[in-house]
């Protein structure tokens, strides 16, 4: 087999575009791209091309944007392209078996977790919110299940108590690009150079899709859980709580395992650029927040001009108090 593989690529957001960029810089040949249809975006809600489409068009690669992949006419371009491998990264559409069977060497998925942990839609954020200390990417041979295929290559990265969803996304986007190129290089040398490992039955978890509704913090929870949620949900959907009439969004926080006798949600103090909030257990130490109509700012900068809104003894509203 030639050392250069003939590829199709299916992906949509920035995470996928990073992998496409790595493939375009590699020895392999991307001959066509699939991505989701242009969607309304921005204040004007104008139809906007995905990050993958924009990159593909910059390189003169044919782009296909079917709403679904249920009929043979939508995947005929893959048959016509005579490809060795279909590379998939955060595409957003289910691939039927008829599509998976088209490439000579099958379809490879770049999944942003250490499978079988965090199969599904939001593995990056769920890993941080759960308190995991490690994440990574798995290059997986796709089958008809939800992220159930054999593992071909795994690369890991640590999650610290500073890591946000945005940080981990960016790290895994780069790692995914490096890993898929390595996997394809080895596959081009021979199938035995990329052995497949079935996923273990133990340790399976699912990463459900994120929603805005789950971003409201219940400050009766443990401070460690809340701090992890704050970091996981930045930059989207961004964790929040209501203080008086304002929705305050939290962009970065850590936890302190200290005892207190204050009611959950009570503002304790604001030392050294932190906002200390009493939780059910421990204290949430917020270091970056956003006021309505403003930009995310360090708490130190907020306190220089708006300290009157964060006086000790003020209390954030708990979720059921909204009714």
**What tens digit of pLDDT does each residue of 261-294 get?**
999 999 999 888 899 999 999 999 999 999 999 9
**What tens digit of pLDDT does each residue of 296-311 get?**
999 999 998 888 889 9
**What tens digit of pLDDT does each residue of 49-92 get?**
999 999 999 999 999 999 999 999 999 999 999 999 999 999 99
Judge whether 221 and 241 are in contact, CB under 8 Å.
no
For residues 150 and 216, give the distance between their C-alpha atoms in angstroms, rounded to a whole number: 37
Half-sphere exposure of 323 (CA within 13 A, CB side): 2
Annotated binding residue 7 = no
323: CB partners within 8 A, 6+ apart: none
For residues 115 and 136, give the distance between their C-alpha atoms in angstroms, rounded to a whole number: 9
Is CATH 3.30.565.10 what the domain over 213-317 is classified as, yes or no?
Answer: no
- CA distances (Å), origin 57, targets 4, 20, 54, 245: 22, 12, 5, 46
Annotated binding residue 37 = no
Residue 156: in which H helix or E strand, if any? Answer: strand 151-158
Residue 239, number of CB atoms within 10 A of its CB: 24
pTM of the predicted structure, to 2 decimals = 0.94
- For residue 323, name the pLDDT band (cuts at 50, 70, 90): very low
Q: Answer yes or no: is pLDDT of 186 > 90.
A: yes
Tell me what pLDDT residue 188 has.
96
For residues 271 and 18, give the distance between their C-alpha atoms in angstroms, rounded to a whole number: 40
Convert 35-54 to b/e letters by CB count within 10 Å (16 or more is b). bbeeeeeeeeeeeebbbbbe
Q: Per the omega criterion (within 30 degrees of 0), is the bond before 237 cis?
A: yes
SS3 content of the chain, % helix, strand, coil (to 5): 30, 30, 40
Residue 232: in which H helix or E strand, if any? Answer: helix 223-232
Return the structure tokens found at 313: 């003894």
Of 64, 84, 79, residue with least CA distance to 12: 64
Give 53-57 contacts, CB < 8 A, sequence gap 24+: 54/17, 55/17, 55/20, 55/21, 55/24, 56/9, 56/20, 56/30
Annotated binding residue 115 = yes
Of 65, 14, 8, residue with least CA distance to 31: 8
Annotated binding residue 66 = no
- What are the extents of the domains in the chain? 6-207, 213-317
**What tens digit of pLDDT does each residue of 231-265 get?**
999 999 999 999 988 999 999 999 999 999 999 99
Q: Would you give the distance in Å from CA 281 to the centre of its chain? A: 28
Fold of 6-207: Rossmann fold (3.40.50)
Of 48, 24, 26, residue with least CA distance to 36: 48
Residue 97: in which H helix or E strand, if any? Answer: helix 97-100
Tell me what pLDDT residue 322 has.
54
Give me the percent of the chain exceeding a pLDDT of 90.
90
What average pLDDT does the segment 156-163 reach? 97
Judge whether 150 and 199 are in contact, CB under 8 Å.
yes
Residue with structure tokens 């040398």?
Answer: 189
């Amino acid at each position: 087999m030639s050392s250069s593989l003939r590829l199709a690529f299916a992906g949509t957001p920035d995470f996928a575009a990073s992998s496409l960029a790595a493939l375009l810089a590699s020895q392999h040949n991307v001959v066509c791209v699939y991505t989701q249809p242009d969607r309304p975006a921005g204040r004007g809600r104008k139809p906007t091309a995905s990050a993958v489409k924009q990159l593909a068009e910059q390189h003169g690669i044919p782009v296909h944007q079917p709403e679904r992949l249920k009929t043979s006419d939508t995947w005929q371009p893959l048959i016509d392209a005579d490809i060795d491998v279909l590379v998939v990264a955060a595409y957003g559409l289910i691939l039927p078996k008829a599509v998976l069977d088209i490439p000579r060497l099958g379809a490879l998925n770049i999944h942003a977790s250490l499978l079988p942990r965090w199969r599904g839609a939001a593995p990056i954020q769920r890993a941080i919110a759960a308190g995991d200390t490690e994440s990574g990417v798995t290059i997986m041979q796709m089958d008809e299940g939800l992220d159930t295929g054999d593992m071909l290559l795994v690369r890991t990265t640590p999650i610290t108590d500073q890591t946000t969803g945005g940080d981990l996304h960016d790290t895994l986007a780069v790692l995914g690009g490096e890993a898929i190129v390595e996997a394809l290089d080895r596959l081009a040398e021979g199938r035995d150079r990329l052995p497949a490992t079935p996923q273990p039955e133990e340790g399976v978890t699912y990463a459900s899709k994120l929603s805005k509704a789950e971003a409201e913090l219940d400050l009766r929870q443990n401070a460690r859980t809340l701090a992890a949620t704050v970091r996981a949900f930045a930059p989207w959907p961004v964790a929040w709580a209501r203080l008086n009439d304002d929705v305050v969004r939290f962009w970065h926080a850590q936890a302190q395992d200290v005892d207190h006798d204050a009611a959950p949600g009570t503002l304790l103090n604001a030392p050294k650029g932190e906002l200390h909030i009493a939780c059910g257990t421990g204290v949430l130490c917020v270091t970056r927040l956003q006021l309505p109509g403003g930009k995310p700012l360090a708490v130190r900068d907020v306190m220089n001009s708006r300290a009157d809104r964060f006086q000790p003894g003020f209390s954030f509203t708990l979720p059921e108090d909204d009714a």
